Amino acid sequence: MYRQEHVPDAFPRRPLGRTGLRVTPVCVGGGPLGSMPGVFGYDVDAERGTETALAALTGPFNFLDTAAGYSDGESERRIGAALRRIGGVPEGFVLATKVDRDLSTGDFSGAQTRRSAVGSLERLGLDRLPLVYLHDPEHISFEAGMAPGGPVETLLELQREGVIGHLGVAGGPVELMARYLRTGHFAALITHNRWTLVDRSAGDLIDEAVALGVGVVNAAPFASGILAKGPAEFTRYAYREADAGTLERIRAMEAACTAHGVPLGAAALQFSLRDPRITATIVGVSRPERIAETARLATWEIPEELWETLAPLTAPKESWLY
């Protein structure tokens, strides 16, 4: 059905807000390579995960995102193993991670934040982290996140100590993310599942981030897989079963893409890539060959008429995640 074969060997780099970092428009997501079957529906063994990380580190993209909490640190361990094979982080490559709460107890104290960061350094085999996000702070109150001795204060201490280069915040609820950005402490934002072909919850948040000089990274353009695989193969949207209305909309989008000779995944990815407010878009990968496949989707020629067809198929505002 689809015949476009060209795979770019490099992508241009863009400034990530005020960080001074320059990154490609696609960021490789390290969640799947650590094996997260509960989220993505499949296992990834250690060698395949390490080979995938190696492909990410040596491929056309210079940006790789992971987190301490992905697979209890397994994503970072596999990336660390890949880094050892190639002798460290390649010149100009940006490796980002995230500090997490203790997933067994829910503890997201300052002490836990420091443990999380130190654990990341050990698993990755690094002595400094260029970009670290406060991850999923919606699991505690904003007041707890900003409290004296809490996670944000601890991240700032780690930054002053030189352990962390730049701070970001990564999470779901858009108003909570905006509150963190307004503190002025964060130079980068990850929003996920809220700026896709289907859901536009993060529109105002992205505008505010840009106005503040914060680099915007949009995660999960495939909404956990359905906007890449199609609803006949995968029926979960944003890590939960999609409702009938969402499935109907995505089927209509898929049919429109097919009529134009465009993979649904190409449209889903480029919806984010073509937005000038978004510096990079995170695409999770679980096999080495997915790097080249993502590059193909990112550069697939899409006619303007398809965008005009897809626009009215977006879910109504009352169905967005927020």
Whether residue 10 is predicted with pLDDT greater than 80 in this model: the reply is no
Q: Once rounded to an integer, what is the mean pLDDT over residues 5-16?
A: 82
| pTM metric for this prediction | 0.95
Whether residue 2 is predicted with pLDDT greater than 80 in this model: the reply is no
Does any domain span residue 1? no
Does any domain span residue 7? no
Task: Provide the CA 286 distance to its chain's centre, in angstroms.
Answer: 14
Does any domain span residue 321? no
The CATH number of whichever domain residue 188 belongs to comes to 3.20.20.100
pLDDT for residue 79: 98
Tens digits of per-residue pLDDT, 117-134? Answer: 999 999 999 999 999 999
Tens digits of per-residue pLDDT, 87-125? Answer: 999 999 999 999 999 999 999 999 999 999 999 999 999
Does any domain span residue 89? yes
Task: Provide the CA 56 distance to its chain's centre, in angstroms.
Answer: 14
pLDDT for residue 42: 74
Whether residue 279 is predicted with pLDDT greater than 80 in this model: the reply is yes
The more confidently predicted of residues 41 and 227 is 227
Q: Once rounded to an integer, what is the mean pLDDT over residues 178-191?
A: 98
Quote the longest CA-to-CA distance of the chain.
Answer: 58
Cβ atoms < 10 Å from Cβ of 43:
11
Whether residue 150 is predicted with pLDDT greater than 90 in this model: the reply is yes
Does any domain span residue 322? no
pLDDT for residue 1: 60
CA 80/CA 121 separation, integer angstroms: 9
Does any domain span residue 298? yes
Cα angle for residues 239, 27, 123 (degrees, 5° grid): 85
Q: How far is CA 65 from CA 112, 190, 192, 217, in A?
A: 21, 10, 13, 10
Does any domain span residue 119? yes
Cα angle for residues 122, 127, 129 (degrees, 5° grid): 90
Give me 231's structure tokens: 């609803």
pLDDT for residue 77: 97
Domain span at residue 215 reads: 14-313
Whether residue 149 is predicted with pLDDT greater than 90 in this model: the reply is yes
Does any domain span residue 6? no
Tokens 């956990």 -> residue: 224
Number of domains in the chain: 1
Q: Cβ(55)–Cβ(67) under 8 Å?
A: no
